Amino acid sequence: MPSNVIVGLQWGDEGKGKITDLLSKNSDYVIRYQGGNNSGHSIHVKNHRFILHLIPSGVIYSNVKCIVGPGVVVDPQSFIKEIQDLESMNIDTSKVFLAKRAHITMPYHRLLDKYQEEILEDQSIGTTHRGIGPTYEDKTARMGIRVLDLLNFKNFYQKLKYNIDFKNEIITKVYKKEPLVFESIYEEYIEYAKIIYNRIIDAVHEIHDAFHNKKKILFEGAQAMLLDINYGTYPYVTTSSPSTGGVCIGTGIPPNFLENFIGVAKAYCTRVGFGPFPTEINNEIGDVIRQKGNEYGATTKRPRRCGWLDLIALKYSCMINGINYLIITKLDVLSELKTIKLCVEYKYNGQIIKCFPANIEQGIQGVYMDFPGWEKDISHIHEYEDLPENCKKYIKFIEDYLNLEILLVSVGSERNQNIIKNKYSFFKIFA
Ligand code: GDP
Ligand code: IMO
Ligand code: MG
């Protein structure tokens, strides 16, 4: 059975949650491989809106096993709240599991994230303040606390004591803030341990067994390619590897388990937080897109910066991720516009740039091709042939530029607002 990966190709919020939910129907497993509760994945099903931060977007289907994988960083408070919220909406969460090897976000991670951002002032990243960066820092510094440590209170006590003593030095001496109190944090986390212990599994063996038993596995990326720690717009990135290479690192599978690499991109671009954004629109058209697309962060509620679709960046993302199928979301959001622009080159210091540069500068500008808009509502359309001609021309240009097949076009936030463009491939992968 093929294992499929869903990955965001821009700066996050491409609609991965909606697409993962849609494609989960015929999956046995949906597995998150990186990131933490910095994500906000929205799913709309018949007037119900679910926003998932840590739990994989397959959870709405009760037949799907959902694993928060070893490469994820888990804030237990957030995880437990998410479980409770889902249960209060009558969603069965009995098949949600946590990997033993996943690292835990602690209160000091959230504080250090916030303090560091404050001290950096105009050099700050604009993080979600969820403590994600500091949790991954501790992981690589080899002082992190893992989910499995919650199963052994004596170990947990020692590791937490060491960490809090260490962090209090930084909190009081560097940031000049109040120290943390060990006992209350210890007790808080012991309570979390009691709630989640029966969801803790050895995910590596579970996933390998599933693969050998020919189960259908969907790996769900969080954040997106241009926020990747290695290949994104560094330093304005997150601290994990959302790109498809991160699946192996984050779940313990070898690369040859993976077959279909499905990239999700919006029909335009958005970005939350700071950092370069060559196609950003700083006029009322940007505001129209923000309003029509409801471009406000699912996690932090911040307004998202909006811009034209950047084909240079998208081509780069498809290349790094080995994308063989593309999904375009939110095409309906562009329906009102008279003219739609596509960025096909960059210009910097009077020079044309055709590839995504490693040192993408704030001053880099997009060079555009103009496309006439279709100026018609397309949100009810289900067949590709029924789309307005100008809309098809826009899609065709993207396909040709990227030399990639578009599998599906999403035209609304509801689960059924989709146009399956390539039915043969779609049903081959997801039947
Ligand atoms: P994710 O982080 O990639 O899962 O994306 P988010 O959930 O943060 O943001 C995407 C937003 O767009 C959510 O509110 C979705 O419900 C919504 N959405 C997804 N696909 C479409 C679409 O095709 N059209 C419209 N109008 N909204 C969509
Ligand atoms: P989903 O999964 C959009 C951004 C933050 C900030 C940078 C670093 O919903 O697509 P962090 O808290 O990770 O250290 O912040 O990354 N960011 C996201 N932007 N969608 C996300 O997740 C994001 N997760 C992090 O805004 O610029
Ligand atoms: Mg999101």
Q: Please give the number of the atom of ligand 1 that sits closest to the Cα of 418.
A: 23
Residue 240 DSSP SS3 = coil
Find out whether the beta carbon of 39 lies less than 6 Å from any atom of ligand 2: yes
Residue 4 DSSP SS3 = strand
Find out whether the beta carbon of 227 lies less than 6 Å from any atom of ligand 2: yes
State residue 1's pLDDT score.
67
**Separation of CA 140 and ligand 2 centre (Å):** 20
| Proximal ligand: closest to the CA of 43 | 1
State residue 362's pLDDT score.
74
Distances in whole angstroms, Cα of residue 81 to Cα of each of 42, 45, 103, 267, 375: 16, 20, 18, 33, 42
Please say if 44 is a catalytic residue: no
Find out whether the beta carbon of 7 lies less than 6 Å from any atom of ligand 2: no
Residue 34 DSSP SS3 = coil
Measured on CA atoms in the order 279, 315, 36, 157, is the torsion positive or negative? negative
Q: Please give the number of the atom of ligand 1 that sits closest to the Cα of 333.
A: 26
Find out whether the beta carbon of 12 lies less than 6 Å from any atom of ligand 2: yes
Find out whether the beta carbon of 270 lies less than 6 Å from any atom of ligand 1: no
Find out whether the beta carbon of 234 lies less than 6 Å from any atom of ligand 2: no
Find out whether the beta carbon of 329 lies less than 6 Å from any atom of ligand 1: yes
Q: What residues does 30 pair with on adjacent strands?
A: 66, 218
Spatial CB neighbours of 262, under 8 Å, sequence gap ≥ 6: 4, 5, 6, 7, 19, 23, 323, 324, 325, 326, 327, 407, 429
Q: Which residues surround ligand 3, an ion (CB under 5 A)?
A: 13, 40, 298
Sort 123 into a burial class: Cβ within 10 Å, 0-12 / 13-18 / 19+: exposed
CA 149, CA 263: separation in Å to the nearest integer?
35
Domains of the chain, earliest start first: 3-90+202-430 (3.90.170.10), 103-199 (1.10.300.10)
Q: Please give the number of the atom of ligand 1 that sits closest to the Cα of 293.
A: 26
Cα dihedral 144→146→150→155 (10° resolution) = -50
- Residue with the smallest CA separation from ligand 1 atom 23 is 330
Mutate which of 7, 10, 16, 42 for ligand 1? The one with the most ligand atoms within 8 Å of its CB, which is: 42
Catalogue the E-assigned strands of 311-426: 325-329, 339-348, 351-353, 365-372, 406-410, 418-420
- Residue with the smallest CA separation from ligand 1 atom 14 is 42
**Separation of CA 169 and ligand 1 centre (Å):** 42
- Residue with the smallest CA separation from ligand 2 atom 20 is 12
**Separation of CA 130 and ligand 2 centre (Å):** 10
CA 224, CA 244: separation in Å to the nearest integer?
10
Sort 198 into a burial class: Cβ within 10 Å, 0-12 / 13-18 / 19+: exposed
Mutate which of 272, 300, 301, 317 for ligand 2? The one with the most ligand atoms within 8 Å of its CB, which is: 272
Nearest of 271, 269, 249 to residue 258 by alpha carbon: 249
How many residues can be counted in the chain?
431
User: From first to last of its 431 residues, what are the pLDDT tens digits of the chain?
Assistant: 679 999 999 999 999 999 999 999 999 999 999 999 999 999 999 889 999 999 999 999 999 999 999 999 999 999 999 999 999 999 999 999 999 999 999 999 999 999 999 999 889 999 999 999 999 999 999 999 999 999 999 999 999 999 999 999 999 999 999 999 999 999 999 999 999 999 999 999 999 999 999 999 999 999 999 999 999 999 999 999 999 999 999 999 999 999 999 999 999 999 999 999 999 999 999 999 999 999 998 888 899 999 999 999 999 999 999 999 999 999 999 999 999 999 999 999 899 999 999 998 778 999 999 999 999 999 999 999 999 999 999 999 999 999 998 999 999 999 999 999 999 999 988 87
